[in-house]
Amino acid sequence: MASESGTALVTDSTASLTAEDRERLDISVVSLYVILNGEQRPESEITDYRDFYKAVIESPDLTTTSQPSIGDFMAVYEPLLAQGKEIVSVHISAGISGTCDAARQAAAQLSKEGKGGERITVVDSRTTAGGLALSVLAAANAIGEGASAGEAARRAEAARENLGTWIMVDTLDYLRKGGRIGSAQAWIGSALKIKPIITLQETVKPVEKVRTQAKAMQRLKDMATEVARQGDTTWTAQHIQAPELAGDLAAHCREVFQCEGAFLDEMSTVLGCHAGPGLVALGTMPTDLVGSKS
């Protein structure tokens, strides 16, 4: 779709897009990096999640992550600009990653070099994973309908403003160690006794303290039921090393939303490093903002 347009679409590897979606919609992806036991690898190269998290847990050192370099972005942008395209580049929240900043610096450098960097519009999704993917789909479908780059960017922003995200984490310890805990810091004292439900609105924010995993999962289901009453909704159910829990949430969502989820998968390893195993997430967005996925 996008390949026939004058506008190209770029995102990053934390977006939960399927390989089929990326190919069908001609979406370019710039990878973030994971640094495990002193070795830096593009997360796009990590395919065995079970072995990866086993290594993370066993490592004596904190596993860290890194944003794409300016050069990584330029390598993706430059060929698209050379084709005469405008670019809409939609990325993980600037509140938890420097990815958007690197994208903007790459655009500025390409503009300085006379290679068309001024034709790049960078959009901060203020989220990641399924929510980022839904915003990217909104932009992709706008492009498919003949929208300009500016219009596609505004569609992604409108989707961002109407996204709902609720995340159960097994522990806040990973977020604390990685420095991404945001205002949920206030819960650290009691974190060992609760299964926190948080959200991501630019940064991590606390939603609700729940005592047990079963009660936390029920709260996610209750939230899905409440959203379903508001109208036609596109939804996601995702996890980090918790497929059975995510599958249970997805079954409930199919019942209340009366449709299949847009993304039902494991989140990227970069996110897993910061949130830890045992995470389950619900994402929702009004379907009319996303556009058709077919």
Are 240 and 279 part of one and the same domain?
A: yes
Terminal-to-terminal C-alpha distance of the chain: 11
Segments forming the whole domain that contains residue 242: 164-290
pLDDT higher than threshold 70 for residue 187: no
Q: Which residues pair with 238 in a beta bridge?
A: 281
Measured CA to CA, the distance from residue 176 to residue 30 in angstroms comes to: 26
pLDDT band with cut points at 50, 70 and 90 for residue 203: confident
User: 161, 191, 207 — which closes off a domain?
Assistant: 161
pLDDT band with cut points at 50, 70 and 90 for residue 177: low
pLDDT higher than threshold 50 for residue 189: no
Instruction: Judge whether 62 lies within some domain.
Output: no
Instruction: Judge whether 48 lies within some domain.
Output: no
pTM: 0.90
pLDDT 10s digits, 273-289: 888 889 999 999 999 99
pLDDT higher than threshold 50 for residue 97: yes
Are 188 and 254 part of one and the same domain?
A: yes
Measured CA to CA, the distance from residue 70 to residue 115 in angstroms comes to: 15
Instruction: Judge whether 54 lies within some domain.
Output: no
pLDDT higher than threshold 70 for residue 112: yes
* pLDDT at residue 178, as a whole number: 52
pLDDT band with cut points at 50, 70 and 90 for residue 208: confident
Measured CA to CA, the distance from residue 176 to residue 154 in angstroms comes to: 33
Are 23 and 138 part of one and the same domain?
A: yes
Instruction: Judge whether 92 lies within some domain.
Output: yes
Instruction: Judge whether 87 lies within some domain.
Output: yes
Are 179 and 145 part of one and the same domain?
A: no
Instruction: Judge whether 96 lies within some domain.
Output: yes
User: 98, 128, 161 — which closes off a domain?
Assistant: 161
Are 115 and 148 part of one and the same domain?
A: yes
Are 99 and 171 part of one and the same domain?
A: no
Are 220 and 84 part of one and the same domain?
A: no
Give the CATH number of the domain where residue 268 resides. 3.30.1180.10
Are 130 and 19 part of one and the same domain?
A: yes
Are 119 and 236 part of one and the same domain?
A: no
Q: Which tops the pLDDT comparison, 209 or 21?
A: 21
Q: What is the mean pLDDT of residues 225-253?
A: 96
pLDDT band with cut points at 50, 70 and 90 for residue 202: confident
Instruction: Judge whether 272 lies within some domain.
Output: yes
Contact 181, 204 (CB under 8 A): yes
Mean of per-residue pLDDT scores for the chain: 90
Q: What is the mean pLDDT of residues 18-47?
A: 94
Are 24 and 91 part of one and the same domain?
A: yes
Instruction: Judge whether 27 lies within some domain.
Output: yes
Helix locations, the chain, DSSP H: 19-24, 49-58, 70-82, 99-112, 129-144, 149-161, 173-178, 213-228, 243-257, 269-275, 287-290
Percentage of the chain modeled with pLDDT above 90: 74
* pLDDT at residue 150, as a whole number: 95
Are 126 and 201 part of one and the same domain?
A: no
pLDDT 10s digits, 46-78: 999 999 999 988 988 888 999 999 999 999 999
How far is C-alpha 100 from the chain's CA centre? 13
User: 123, 145, 161 — which closes off a domain?
Assistant: 161
Give the CATH number of the domain where residue 99 resides. 3.40.50.10440
pLDDT higher than threshold 90 for residue 292: no
Count up the domains in the chain and report the number. 2
Are 143 and 212 part of one and the same domain?
A: no
Min mean pLDDT across 73-77, 78-82, 181-185, 215-219 is at: 181-185
pLDDT band with cut points at 50, 70 and 90 for residue 193: low
